Structure 1
Amino acid sequence: MIKVKKEELKDIFRDKLKSRGFSDDDAGLCAEIFTDNTASGVYSHGINRFPLFIDYIDRGLIKPAAKPELKKSYSAIEQWDGNFGPGPLNAHTVTKRAMKLADKYGIGCVALRNTNHWMRAGYFGWMAAEKGYIFICWTNTIPNLPPWNAKQAATGNNPIVFAVPRKEGPVVLDMALSQFSYGKIADYINKNRELPYFGGFDSEGNLTQDPSEINKTQRALPIGLWKGAGLSLLLDLIASVLSEGNSTADLAKSEYDTGMSQVFIAIKPLFNDKLESYVDEILNYYKSAEPVSVDEVIYYPGERSALFRKKCEEEGIPIEVQLLEKIKAL
């Protein structure tokens, strides 16, 4: 394990992207997103996923020069087509657009179709919340989650983000609708470790903590059991209807995780001039609960990521030497 400065890692990402047809600006922004994800402790959607991102570019599934386009507009609601461009860049563009709509109408909603994996969804929650917006976004995915009582996957783990602004650091919940995201499952596989809790079903239909079994069966455990499965379905329905894009059923026709539909909602908290005191009071009460043991700490969503990021900025990002060499050799 070595410590790598953020700028050094960003330069490595940027050079690889520029060599594959990204403009200077696009390569810089995409590299910044991958670096920030890694520096926030979400390696599964940062450096760990970068080789797959490059593979999708090389296969022609991600088009480096493609730009998202506005297709339909009605007041505070818009529909955009991502044209199979880089998912993080598409998401960045429409997040900014949702905020601009919120400046005008108090709320802005952008539905996006034909886009690619946006990597760490929380990045866009932080992006909006740090500028003072309440923010919600989600995506559908390939089928990788079973409906409750089903033997095979027929819905997605459909990650969703909720973000609330705060001067001392936004509150950002970034979660998949499976108990563990597949990126996190891959992390445990790479580290040859069991999951700390049941995360899905094995080939015999039994609950398991073995990440390799879950990856093989594609039967991750929905959060809240049947409630999580139902929520997954509704997020898929709303994203598909608003964007007129691919549903999870459509995405199932391809072996690649591309062409998904997403929704981005920005809200300007116009009516609350005491937002900071509201948020702080709620967080203080939340964190006042007695921990289950003296070794446990109660964090609000996003707090650990912020602490990890601060440490990385001061000391560098911890990265496995072999992984860094793999990135350099792409």
Structure 2
Amino acid sequence: MWTSWWRTKHRIFDVVKYFVRNSGTVEDTPIVSLAECRRFVIDCMMAVGTPKHNAERLADNMVEADYRGLHGHGINRIEMFLSEVQHGSCDAAASPEVLNESAATAWVEGNNGLGPVVGSFCMNLAIDKAKNLGVGLVACKGSNHFGIGTTYVIQALKKDLVGLCFSNTSPVVAPTRARCPAIGTNPLSVAAPGMAEDNFVLDMATSVVSRGKIEMRRKMNVPVPLGWADPLTGALRPLGSTEENSSYKGYGLAICIEILCGILAGGHYGPYIHPVFTTETEANLAQCFVAIDPCFFAPGFQERLTDLTTILRNLEPSDPRKPVQVAGDTQRVHMKMIEENGGIKYSAEQLKSCENLAKSLDVKPLRPIKQ
């Protein structure tokens, strides 16, 4: 066998409408340690009344996002979470509760709590059930934006389990052949353990691009490429972008996730979810978390997974400068870079935004370790 060591909707739409295809790079900026990033998020959330343990769950998710290079869901999102709490559309002190359960399943009420708090609770519940029965499935309603799904599937990964999670989101994507948005970017994440930490870790939206990437380009004043959204309405497009390029696949995946989330758990779904950046009403997002124990199936799961990923990586690339990768490789490269640098590089715009935020909340500013 092969072996390896690898391991508000209008606001968004207006931004997209006025950008054209282009590219840009982030300038060299000061470095902020992971611990300092986490401290800053916790302090900000506690300043608006979030209990420390809940603020810590949110901070873990946001810092993990920036650590892995998923910047659209990192510290970039702190203002969104703060706004929801300050306006009362999210209860930062809430705790989830089980409404109904069997040996292998559970239905959870998130009580309008912070998404990362609800998500962590649900995945831990799914893990416990999988350890006993081989599989655990937990669906919840009454949740909010849960950040990166990677955080939850890694919870399962750390227990040598396969983890899956899904979430519905505010309607910013136009279905194939539609002009107006009616479904969310509806992300999915999957993690599976390989040998020597050669893990498969997938985190993706079912739209051409996540909403977070649009936000990041707006903050850095970098134009959005053509094909990401409808140039007239600003609605994001499903994976595939156009019908000719099989956008029905991304559209179909989004509905599959909606079936496992809003439809199964009884939360809001599709156009019933409030528009992005809205704080007047509760989101009532629905999510689904699955854990699978490979020990209940054929022996050698990790060996076979690493065998497959190694074969794929060793395929001759179409471009010699770009070797073949599998999901998780890019994140590992980024994490190694962060470790070598001693922290995360944020753009000048992000650092300025955090400085203004600190002043408004009367908390200690985000302090870089290198100028």
Partners of 1:63 and 1:168 in 2: CA distance: 37
Q: Does 1:268 align with 2:293?
A: yes
C-alpha distance in structure 1 between counterparts of 2:52 and 2:80, whole Å: 21
Correspondence for 2:344 among 317, 320, 323? 317
Matched, 1:282 2:316: no
For 2:93 and 2:44, how far apart are their aligned partners in 1? 15
Which secondary structure state, in structure 2, belongs to the residue aligned with residue 173 of structure 1? strand
8 Å CA contact retained: 1:162, 1:174: yes
Show the counterpart of 2:332: 306
Question: How much does 1:255 deviate?
Answer: 6.5
Tell me the secondary structure at the aligned position of residue 201 of structure 1.
coil
Q: Cα offset for 1:88?
A: 1.0
Match of 2:203 among 174, 185, 205: 174
Q: Give CA-to-partner distance per residue, 1:286-312, whole Å, 9 cap, x none.
A: 112222222212221111112211221
Q: Does residue 1:248 correspond to 2:276, yes or no? A: no
Q: TM-score, normalised on structure 1?
A: 0.90
Structure 1 residues 168 and 196: alpha-carbon distance in aligned structure 2, compared to 1, 3 A threshold: farther
Q: Which has the higher strand share?
A: 1
CA deviation vs aligned residue, 1:143-200 (integer Å, no higher than 9, x gap): 2212211111122221011111123242111110111111112223333334556222
Q: Using the TM superposition, give the Cα deviation of residue 62 of structure 1 relative to its aligned residue in structure 2, in angstroms.
A: 1.6
**2:252 paired residue among 223, 230, 249:** 230
Q: 1:248 to 1:60 in 2, by over 3 A?
A: same
Contact 2:175 / 2:237 at 8 angstroms: preserved in 1?
A: no
Q: 1:194 to 1:288 in 2, by over 3 A?
A: farther
Structure 1 residue 20: deviation in Å? 1.8
| Aligned residue identity for 1:9 | C
Q: Which residue of 1 aligns with 2:190?
A: 162
Report the 3-state secondary structure (helix = DSSP H, G, I; strand = E; otherwise coil) of the residue aligned with 1:49: helix
> C-alpha distance in 1, partners of 2:208/2:183?
14
1:94-119 alpha-carbon deviations (Å, 9 max, x no partner): 11111011011110000010100001
Q: Which residue of 2 aligns with 1:73?
A: 101
Task: After TM superposition, give the deviation of residue 86 of structure 1 in Å.
Answer: 0.6
Which residue does 1:291 correspond to in 2? 317
Instruction: Output one character per residue of 1:181-234: Cα deviation in whole Å (capped at 9) or x when no partner.
Output: 11112223333334556222211xxxxxxxxxxxx5223243441121122122
SS in 1 for 2:139: strand
Code of the residue aligned with 2:34 in structure 1: it is K
C-alpha contact (below 8 Å) 1:140/1:156 kept by paired residues: yes
Pairing 1:327–2:354 present: yes
CA distance in 1, matches of 2:225, 2:323: 17
Q: Tell me which residue corresponds to 1:206.
A: none
C-alpha displacement of 1:41: 1.0
> Which ranges in structure 1 are unaligned for 5 or more consecutive residues?
204-215
Q: Structure 1 residues 63, 184: CA separation in 2 closer, same or farther (over 3 Å shift)?
A: same
Could you say what secondary structure the match of 1:138 adopts? strand
Report the Cα distance in structure 1 between the residues aligned to 2:335 and 2:204, rounded to whole angstroms.
Answer: 18
Conserved 8 A contact 1:163-1:172: yes
Work out the CA distance in 2 between the residues paired with 1:56 and 1:322: 22
- 1:63 paired to 2:88: no
**1:253 Cα deviation from its structure 2 partner:** 7.4
Cα RMSD over matched residues?
1.9
Q: Which has the higher contact order (CA 8 A, sep 6+)?
A: 2
1:324, distance to aligned residue in structure 2 (A): 2.4
Distance apart, 1:242 and its partner CA: 2.1
In structure 1, the partner of 2:19 is: none
Aligned match for 1:82, one of 110, 125, 129: 110
What pairs up with 1:96-107 in 2 under 5 angstroms? 96-107=124-135
In the alignment, structure 1 residue 185 sits paired with structure 2 residue 220: no
The equivalent residue for 2:62 is: 34
Unmatched 5+ stretches in structure 2: 1-28, 241-245, 358-371
Q: Is the 8 A contact 2:260 2:287 kept in 1?
A: no
Mapped to 1, the partners of 2:274 and 2:353 lie a distance apart of 30
Q: Which stretch shifts more, 314-323 or 260-269?
A: 314-323
Percent identity, aligned pairs only, is 25
Aligned length: 318
Q: Of 221, 232, 235, which aligns to 1:218?
A: 235
CA deviations over 1:65-112 (Å, ceiling 9, x no partner)? 100010011221110011111111110111111101101111000001
CA deviation after TM superposition for structure 1 residue 254, in Å: 8.3
The question of whether the paired residues in 2 share the 8 Å contact of 1:79 and 1:242 is answered with no
From 32, 35, 57, give the equivalent of 1:4.
Answer: 32
Given that 1:131 and 1:165 are in contact with CA atoms closer than 8 Å, whether structure 2 keeps it comes out as no
**Residue pair 1:156, 1:232 contacting (<8 A) in 2 also:** yes
Do 2:50 and 2:92's aligned partners in 1 also have CA atoms closer than 8 Å?
A: yes
